[in-house]
């Protein structure tokens, strides 16, 4: 499918997080630690606080969309029996290379979230961070994840929020409407440009509401145990890269982000 081929080229050329370490070579300790410092310590700080990495000790966990292995390191450090897949073959090598720097040898393979190459009930838990809004059939990927989970297995998924400040005010109202972005093409193209890449390709990018995420999970056979919204940083506000919003404390933005942040985080259990 064309969207999947584009995804392979986008993240094969430029793994997620590369915008936080421009000029550094993916695969090096310098790249990995620079991205993790900004990603985990600032950009996704409020999101990752919700993920109980330590609770996965001894569990067989599947990460769908391992990227360059940022979250994989936290799972391995927690003592999980980790397996990661990624649609970009290059990311498989990056994950292995990065975790090898810390003495880990994770299982990582190239794979498609909509057609997982694992037997039924293979894992205790599954995790996907900012990945499944790029796959054409998110509902199918949820069903596949349920298939490979054991009864009672947990699934943590993180997706873009359509009811966020970043989506509604920054991207759509300000950049697309007021600044005339509509003259250059469809809003879906503008949305795709949020993903930093050196590939010259535009990936598929989707966003959901909390109700939509909950509905898709339930239809896939999950019981939804928790649903949160997080992540509002100054860069997410209109003109956020300028001085305009510097007076707002990050603690206030975090509080507002619990309602209109850029990420929806869901915890579901396989029924």
Q: What DSSP assignment string belongs to 134-194?
A: SSS-HHHHHHHHHHHEEEEEEEEEEEEBTTSHIIIIIIIIIIIIIT-GGGGS-HHHHHHTT
Please say whether the beta carbons of 234 and 257 come within 8 A: no
Confidence (pLDDT) at 269: 98
Percent share of the chain, pLDDT over 70:
99
pLDDT one-digit tens code per residue, 165-220: 999 999 999 999 998 989 988 999 999 999 999 998 999 999 999 999 999 999 99
Residues with Cβ < 8 Å from 33, sequence gap 6 or more? none
Q: Where are the domains of the chain?
A: 2-270
Structure tokens at 60: 């067989």
**DSSP H or E segment with residue 6:** helix 2-13
2-270, CATH topology level: Rossmann fold (3.40.50)
Please say whether the beta carbons of 233 and 253 come within 8 A: yes
Residues with Cβ < 8 Å from 24, sequence gap 6 or more? 30, 31, 34
Please say whether the beta carbons of 134 and 91 come within 8 A: no
pLDDT one-digit tens code per residue, 248-258: 999 999 999 99
Confidence (pLDDT) at 158: 98
């Amino acid at each position: 499918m064309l969207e999947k081929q584009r995804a392979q080229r986008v993240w094969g050329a430029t793994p997620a997080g590369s915008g936080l370490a421009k000029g550094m070579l993916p695969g090096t300790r310098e790249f990995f630690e620079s991205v993790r410092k900004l990603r985990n310590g600032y950009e996704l700080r409020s999101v990752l606080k919700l993920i109980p990495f330590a609770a996965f000790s001894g569990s067989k966990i599947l990460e769908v969309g391992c990227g360059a292995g940022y979250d994989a390191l936290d799972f391995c450090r927690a003592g999980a029996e980790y397996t990661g897949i990624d649609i970009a073959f290059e990311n498989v090598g990056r994950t292995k290379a990065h975790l090898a720097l810390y003495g880990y040898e994770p299982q990582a393979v190239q794979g498609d979230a909509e057609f997982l190459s694992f037997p039924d009930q293979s894992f205790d838990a599954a995790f996907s961070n900012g990945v499944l809004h790029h796959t054409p059939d998110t509902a199918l990927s949820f069903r596949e994840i349920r298939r490979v989970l054991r009864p009672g297995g947990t699934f943590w998924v993180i997706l873009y929020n359509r009811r966020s400040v970043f989506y509604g005010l920054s991207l759509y109202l300000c950049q697309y409407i007021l600044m005339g972005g509509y003259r250059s093409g469809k809003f879906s193209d503008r949305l795709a440009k949020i993903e930093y890449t050196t590939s010259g390709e535009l990936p598929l990018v989707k966003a959901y509401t909390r109700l939509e995420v909950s509905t898709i999970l339930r239809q896939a056979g999950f019981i939804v145990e928790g649903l949160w919204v997080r992540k509002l940083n100054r860069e997410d506000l209109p003109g956020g890269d300028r001085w305009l919003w510097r007076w707002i404390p990050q603690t206030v933005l975090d509080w507002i982000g619990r309602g209109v942040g850029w990420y929806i985080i869901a915890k579901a259990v396989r029924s």
